[in-house]
Structure 1
Amino acid sequence: MPFSYWEHKTWLSNIDFTIIGSGIVGLNSAIRLREKFPKAKILVLERGILPNGASTKNAGFACFGSLSEILDDLHTHSEEEVLQLVQKRYKGLQLLRKNLGSTNIDYIADGGYELFTETDHNLYETCLSKMENINSFLKPIFKEDVFLPKDNIFNFKNIQPQYIVNQFEGQIDTGKMMDALLRKTQICDIKILNNCSVQALTDTNDSVEIKTDHFTLSSNKVLIATNGFASQLGLKEVKPARAQVLITKPIQNLHIKGTFHLDRGYYYFRNIDDRILFGGGRNLDFKTEETTELTQTTLIQQKLEELLQTVILPDKNFEIEHRWSGIMGVGNQKKSIVKQISNNVFCGVRLGGMGVAIGSLVGKELADLL
């Protein structure tokens, strides 16, 4: 594709830093680079018309882990590692609100609720019995109890009699968050090229050659912030994990408020604009959901609708208005990968489904490697 002199001069030459991915991590790293290097030429390359992974497709949970998830993590991570994970997520959420403003992202602190189905009796009893221990475990971060039992005030059906409430969780408007982040990026004189997919990187020691589906250019440094798509650029420690989501049409007199976790966090739902947004089901078919295809499957969509009918909205008529998918980046460990890959290439990936919570912090950490 031939470019004019003006196009080449303004957008594609003398680039100091190129960030691959315009999601939460990518834009936060770009903004942090501008703070560190006021005169640098910074370019962001994005494969989609909008951020194409999960940053504009997530459920908008300002969360850091349900009780069952924390207990599960303690089986595969050390206590110190789990405490660091929770602390990083909590600090990341505080940074997100500080950077963009709680009002600009519609942050609402309605709390987080973990539900347990009737067949999850053993998990329910385990969580209740371990709740006091986990509250003590998290006390150094929150200074008070995080988890509390609460009766079924929202009249969900076919669940255990009590929820476990996380009083420190909230929700945001994902679209407003990304809009605010994009506006802040533009104010910082950072250029973004959309619909531009990076195919290969070659570090020549002096700079990095970036081959895209439209052109090849050179950049002094490259920061990879593609998370769910990271394996396509050689980062095999990160596997894609598709998250399927649906949202209802507005429902009259909807009394449900908050963020909700079900079945160890594999299902999650919330209220937004008098609707229920509901996602999850990856555990029904892990192998099929290990993909970067932004499509849906009948298996998972039918299960989501079934749970809406039998658990969440059993006494309500509802219609589904939209369905979509996002791509997360996961791996054997939940700790994000922020490291130098070669002389001039760096990465901030593997957010483990916690991009809203830790994306701002990972972006800052990535930029601070330089």
Structure 2
Amino acid sequence: MNLSYWELKNWFTKVDFTIVGSGIVGLHCALALREKYPNSKILVLEKEILPQGASTKNAGFACFGSISEILDDLKNHSEEEVIQLIQKRWNGLQLLRKNLGDEAIDFKPFGGYELFLKDDESGYNECLQRIPFVNEILKPIFRNDVFNKEVDRFDFKNIHEYLIFNPFEAQIDTGKMMNALLQKAIANNILVLNQVVVSSYLDKGNSVEVQMNDFSFSTQKLFFATNGFAQKLTDNHVKPARAQVLITEPIPDLDIKGTFHLDKGYYYFRNIDDRILLGGGRNLDFEGETTTEFGETELIQNHLEKLLKEVILPDTDFKIAHRWSGIMGMGSSKKPIVEPLSENVFCGVRLGGMGVAIGSLIGKELADLA
């Protein structure tokens, strides 16, 4: 990098805090540090033009887990762990709304629904039977019943009679959220540099040397908020998980409104701008989708279109307008990793596909490690 005196002086000298990753976690970490250390120099480094990973690529669900996903989590985590996770997600959503405001993120409390395909008899019956149990364990958080059954009013096809409704779910505009977050960071004198790749770091005890290809600088503290790209940082406790998405052209008189889940959260769809946005299908090819490569596959995209034709929009002509993918951070546990990597280096990763819900809180917890 051929840097001038001015560039070195203003961006890379006397840096107090450096954050790698300008997504939901990274920018909330920077804002929390600014609040705690108002006179500090804070630098955020992003390897792409926009936040890479899932922060600008997610479906915009302000959710904390469908009932089938919660019941599935109870098979792999203790009841206490699951309740703590949902509490964190709920707290994170409230923090996001408080930090940015509902108007800025286009927050719409339409509620959430879970559908069950006709061939999922056992999952459907289990979820219906266990509604009272799940409501009971979540009552300390929500002070009210979270889930109840409703007759399908959307004319979906090839599903069971009842949907399970959750009035606490909402949808947001992901692009507006990240735009508001970036604007707030800049307004708080946080330096955000794009297309900067951190190749390595060295904790020297009294500072950290950050290496960026052919250039290095020193920072007092270094934070990694790289989620799906954090595999090497955490000794394989974080695995990348690609999520594929498509969106239709606008559909006249579209009557579907809300956030919708299928199959333990592996499929999800919503209305946005008179369109249907549909994503998921990672469970069709776990090995292939454990990747940091962006892209779409015929297997998953064809299955998403099949769901549109046979379940979601069976009597409606539609065209696919656009397809994309994002990279999430998963692991054997859904508990986020917020921990020191050395004396002056920290990470906040493994958001388990719940970045919108939990990202703001993980960013704050990451800043607290300083």
TM-score of the aligned structures, taking structure 1 as reference length: 0.99
- Where does the alignment leave 5 or more consecutive residues of structure 1 unmatched? none
SS in 1 for 2:230: helix
Equivalence for 2:152: 152
Per-residue CA deviation, residues 130-163 of structure 1 (Å, 9 max, x unaligned), is 1111111111111111001011100000001110
Q: What is the CA-CA distance between 1:215 and the residue it aligns to?
A: 2.4
1-structure distance, mates of 2:303, 2:75? 28
2-structure distance, mates of 1:31, 1:49? 20
Q: What is the CA-CA distance between 1:259 and the residue it aligns to?
A: 0.3
2-structure distance, mates of 1:362, 1:347? 10
Equivalence for 1:297: 297
Give matches, 1:212-291, under 5 Å.
212-213=212-213, 215-233=215-233, 235-291=235-291
SS in 1 for 2:10: helix
1:98 is the counterpart of 2:81: no
Equivalence for 2:344: 344
Letter in 1 for 2:34: R
Q: What is the CA-CA distance between 1:97 and the residue it aligns to?
A: 0.5
Equivalence for 1:358: 358
Q: What is the CA-CA distance between 1:200 and the residue it aligns to?
A: 1.0
Per-residue CA deviation, residues 191-216 of structure 1 (Å, 9 max, x unaligned), is 01101111111111121111123522
- Checking the alignment, whether the CA contact within 8 Å between 1:296 and 1:324 is kept in structure 2 is yes
2-structure distance, mates of 1:234, 1:3? 32
Equivalence for 1:9: 9
Equivalence for 2:193: 193
1:182 is the counterpart of 2:182: yes
Identity of aligned residues (%): 64
Equivalence for 2:19: 19
Give matches, 1:73-92, under 5 Å.
73-92=73-92
Per-residue CA deviation, residues 26-65 of structure 1 (Å, 9 max, x unaligned), is 0000001011111111000001100011000000000000
Equivalence for 2:63: 63
Letter in 2 for 1:32: A
Tell me the C-alpha RMSD between the 2 structures: 0.9
2-structure distance, mates of 1:279, 1:216? 40
Per-residue CA deviation, residues 158-193 of structure 1 (Å, 9 max, x unaligned), is 001110011100000000000100010001100011
SS in 2 for 1:356: helix
Structure 1 runs (4+) deviating above 3 angstroms are 232-235
- Checking the alignment, whether the CA contact within 8 Å between 1:199 and 1:233 is kept in structure 2 is no
SS in 1 for 2:92: helix
Q: What is the CA-CA distance between 1:363 and the residue it aligns to?
A: 0.3
1-structure distance, mates of 2:307, 2:214? 44
1-structure distance, mates of 2:16, 2:174? 30
1-structure distance, mates of 2:213, 2:324? 25
SS in 2 for 1:287: helix
- CA 1:214 to 1:306, structure 2 compared with 1: closer, same or farther past 3 Å? farther
Letter in 1 for 2:212: T
2-structure distance, mates of 1:51, 1:280? 21
Equivalence for 2:323: 323
Q: What is the CA-CA distance between 1:5 and the residue it aligns to?
A: 0.4
2-structure distance, mates of 1:148, 1:247? 29
2-structure distance, mates of 1:319, 1:244? 17
- Checking the alignment, whether the CA contact within 8 Å between 1:201 and 1:211 is kept in structure 2 is yes
Per-residue CA deviation, residues 47-104 of structure 1 (Å, 9 max, x unaligned), is 1100011000000000000001111111111111111011110111011101100111
Equivalence for 1:122: 122
2-structure distance, mates of 1:52, 1:313? 31
- Checking the alignment, whether the CA contact within 8 Å between 1:62 and 1:356 is kept in structure 2 is yes
Equivalence for 1:110: 110
Equivalence for 2:171: 171
Q: What is the CA-CA distance between 1:322 and the residue it aligns to?
A: 0.9
Letter in 2 for 1:42: I
- CA 1:119 to 1:214, structure 2 compared with 1: closer, same or farther past 3 Å? farther
1-structure distance, mates of 2:118, 2:229? 37
2-structure distance, mates of 1:303, 1:103? 35
Per-residue CA deviation, residues 212-231 of structure 1 (Å, 9 max, x unaligned), is 23522211110000000112
Letter in 2 for 1:238: V
Q: What is the CA-CA distance between 1:234 and the residue it aligns to?
A: 5.1
Q: What is the CA-CA distance between 1:236 and the residue it aligns to?
A: 2.2
Q: What is the CA-CA distance between 1:232 and the residue it aligns to?
A: 4.2
1-structure distance, mates of 2:263, 2:155? 18
SS in 2 for 1:288: helix
Letter in 2 for 1:225: A
Aligned length: 370
TM-score of the aligned structures, taking structure 2 as reference length: 0.99
Per-residue CA deviation, residues 342-368 of structure 1 (Å, 9 max, x unaligned), is 011011100000000000000001101
